[in-house]
Amino acid sequence: MTKIIGLTGGIGSGKTTIAKYFHSFGIPIYIADDEARKLMQSSEIVAAIKSTFGDIVFENGTLSREKLAKIVFNEPAKLAQLNAIVHPAVKRHFKQWLLDNKAAAYIIYETAILFESGSYKDCDLIITITAPVETRVQRVLERDKTTRKAILKRMGAQWTDEKRTSKSDFVVENSTIEIAKREVDQILKILKIKQKHT
């Protein structure tokens, strides 16, 4: 039976980079944000977003993720509405993906909102990626067209590192990629030992 490893962390913690490092060892990875982005282009989800948020989040008939983000990250109730539309679709898609990867001993399920969405309940193990706040802010500023204020607001809407790590089996400190890779190597050794004993 394939074991699901939930991998999470706040915005800018470097979750996807670490997930890709796991992938380099042949472990299949599911990046929930990427899949959600693709699923949000489906006619069914576009229609649901339109009926919930109206034409204000569309530009020339196309869904504007930037306009939608501005609304949902300023109003927790609106974020909950969006999650109620997108999460069930991601969950269905992941179930199918898991069947396609059932030969793997472990898979990585990467998402920022592992705990908030309740997805952690489906995981056999949980890894939280942490990094200093300033490092995270700088990473997001370099990656996205955004402001420091907007990043801090998004951080405030997510669980704290303390809250995440208290519910995790492993914690990877990702202040630098070298440190993080060493810690991942240790986790991989532990997983190999676990595998031998199952």
Q: Note the helical H segments in the chain.
A: 15-23, 32-39, 43-53, 65-72, 76-100, 133-143, 148-157, 161-165, 177-196
Is 175 one of the annotated binding-site residues?
Answer: no
Is 2 one of the annotated binding-site residues?
Answer: no
In this predicted structure, what is the pLDDT of residue 154? 87
pLDDT average, residue stretch 60-68: 90
Specify whether 148 is located in the same domain as 169: yes
pLDDT average, residue stretch 61-76: 89
Which of helix, strand or coil describes residue 112?
coil
CATH code for the domain of 128? 3.40.50.300
Specify whether 113 is located in the same domain as 141: yes
Is 17 one of the annotated binding-site residues?
Answer: yes
Is 14 one of the annotated binding-site residues?
Answer: yes
Specify whether 96 is located in the same domain as 115: no
pLDDT average, residue stretch 179-195: 94
In this predicted structure, what is the pLDDT of residue 75? 87
Specify whether 167 is located in the same domain as 122: yes
pLDDT-derived band of residue 198, with 50, 70 and 90 as boundaries?
Answer: low
Specify whether 124 is located in the same domain as 47: no
Specify whether 118 is located in the same domain as 197: yes
Residue 59, H or E segment: strand 58-59
Specify whether 114 is located in the same domain as 178: yes
Contact present, 90 and 96 (Cβ < 8 Å): no
Specify whether 17 is located in the same domain as 44: no
Q: Please state, in angstroms and rounded to a whole number, the distance separating the CA atoms of residues 95 and 195.
A: 22
Specify whether 120 is located in the same domain as 169: yes
Average pLDDT value over all residues in the chain: 94
Q: Please state, in angstroms and rounded to a whole number, the distance separating the CA atoms of residues 180 and 198.
A: 27
Domain boundary among 52, 67, 100: 100
Specify whether 145 is located in the same domain as 65: no
pTM of the model: 0.91
Q: What is the pLDDT of residues 122-138, one digit of tens each?
A: 999 999 999 999 999 99
Domain boundary among 54, 77, 100: 100
Specify whether 198 is located in the same domain as 117: yes
Q: What is the domain range of residue 88? A: 33-100
The count of domains in the chain is: 2
Domain boundary among 100, 119, 143: 100
Q: Please state, in angstroms and rounded to a whole number, the distance separating the CA atoms of residues 131 and 136.
A: 6
Specify whether 20 is located in the same domain as 84: no
